[in-house]
Amino acid sequence: MYHLKPVMTQNDACEVPSCMYTLKPVCSFSFDRAPCKGAAGGTTVDPISAGIDNLLKKAESDELRMLAERQQRVLQQLAELKNELLLMRTELKLNTKATATQPSTPLKSKAELKAEPINRNFLQDFVVNASPDYVPYSLLALKNLWKDRLNLQVECFTHSTVPRLTEEALNFQKAILTTSTTVNNLPQIKVTLIWKNVGAYTEMITSPTSYVPICGEVNILRFLSRCGPSEFNYEQRDNVVEADSILDACYLLLNKQNVKQRQQILRTLGTKLGKSDGFGGADMSLCDIAFTSAVKQVQRTIAKDINPNMAKCIGRVSAVVGL
């Protein structure tokens, strides 16, 4: 392209008006390349850089101090939370963790667990809200399984939102009301079962004034296993982590509405079961009860996916605890 002569050259002189006095630039020292002598006679950095460094150091010091105070408050809150959890473990009769100086002892199997007396102070009456379409078979199983150790006295009522009970709910209600213990003076828990439209989320309420429900049949089983007979507490066995994962899978099997998701969870439970008679081996475990109850509630959608060993486990539980 063609060349264009510059509109303004750098060498053009600019006349400054002389009607006012001249003022030295305020920040002229920042452009002064002449070194300044310090107290020790050496060269120092320029004042702006030094001021910025001082501000940064002060801000960093303040941030570190605030961070240390916040960390101290968090550690204090964690210590208080730990003490509360240890107190809850003591009240719920759970094993406390071994100290760092003592070797941890493995949890006992059911064959080694002793039937300790039930502390009646931990027993509390509660209400269960359940849907007639999702019958909580685990209550009947525990009532029959604990009939020589703990009396679950169940009363049934129907909420106004339920026009009529299903055939499964009627059979369950008849079975749980006719089952009674043969031992006198047993510890007792009164359970009020209310048929209500709550879907698959079975609710347990321990206090009518503070409505804080425990949702899920599996979580109700966890609660009862802690306050019930000690020999049936799954948290005192040697496979507590595996048992918790099985119980979580049973909870998902009930609450997942997608058929494909239920089939995937059922396959996972089938893999965990393997070729064993039950999840607890030869002994009847809480996982077997939770699995049997969950499958019986959703068997209409997953009946074809139940393998023979699962059916055998369900039949064994049904025969032992009367489901």
Range 198-221 average pLDDT: 83
Q: What is the pTM of this model?
A: 0.61
Range 129-153 average pLDDT: 86
- Tell me how far apart the alpha carbons of residues 67 and 73 are, in angstroms, rounded to a whole number: 10
- Tell me how far apart the alpha carbons of residues 226 and 212 are, in angstroms, rounded to a whole number: 19
Higher pLDDT, 245 or 43: 245
Range 106-121 average pLDDT: 60
Q: Which residues contact 70 (CB under 8 A, 6 or more apart)?
A: none
Range 59-76 average pLDDT: 82
Determine what percent of the chain is predicted with pLDDT higher than 70: 82
Q: What is the pLDDT of residue 153?
A: 85
Phi-psi sector, 274: left (phi>0), alpha (psi -120 to 50), beta: left
Q: What is the pLDDT of residue 38?
A: 47
Encoding tokens for residue 66? 């605030």
Residue 73 has pLDDT above 80, yes or no: yes
- Tell me how far apart the alpha carbons of residues 249 and 229 are, in angstroms, rounded to a whole number: 24
Higher pLDDT, 2 or 159: 159
In angstroms, what CA-CA distances link 220 with 93, 106, 138? Answer: 17, 26, 9
Higher pLDDT, 35 or 292: 292
Range 92-109 average pLDDT: 45
Higher pLDDT, 133 or 36: 133
Cβ 133 vs Cβ 198: under 8 Å:
no
Q: What is the pLDDT of residues 13-24, one digit of tens each?
A: 777 778 877 777
In angstroms, what CA-CA distances link 29 with 24, 25, 51, 52? Answer: 10, 9, 14, 16
Phi/psi of residue 92, each to 5°?
Answer: -90, 5
Encoding tokens for residue 95? 């094993």
Q: What is the pLDDT of residue 16?
A: 75
Q: What is the pLDDT of residue 113?
A: 59
β strands within 90-242, DSSP E: 126-130, 151-158, 188-195, 203-205, 214-215
Helix (H, G, I), strand (E, B) or coil at 68: helix
- Tell me how far apart the alpha carbons of residues 322 and 284 are, in angstroms, rounded to a whole number: 13
Confidence of residue 114 (pLDDT cuts 50, 70, 90): low
Range 222-235 average pLDDT: 82
Higher pLDDT, 12 or 41: 12
Q: What is the DSSP string of 184-200?
A: SS--EEEEEEEE-S-TT
Confidence of residue 55 (pLDDT cuts 50, 70, 90): confident
Range 29-56 average pLDDT: 59
Number of H helices, E strands in the chain: 8, 5
Q: What is the pLDDT of residue 112?
A: 56
Helix (H, G, I), strand (E, B) or coil at 259: helix
- Tell me how far apart the alpha carbons of residues 72 and 59 are, in angstroms, rounded to a whole number: 20
Task: Look over the chain and give the mean of its residue pLDDT values, rounded to a whole number.
Answer: 78
Q: What is the pLDDT of residue 243?
A: 85
Q: State the greatest distance between any 2 C-alpha atoms of the chain, in Å, as a whole number.
A: 118
Which of 141-145, 218-222, 253-257, 319-323 is the least confident region? 319-323
Helix (H) or strand (E) holding 10: none
Residue 300 has pLDDT above 70, yes or no: yes
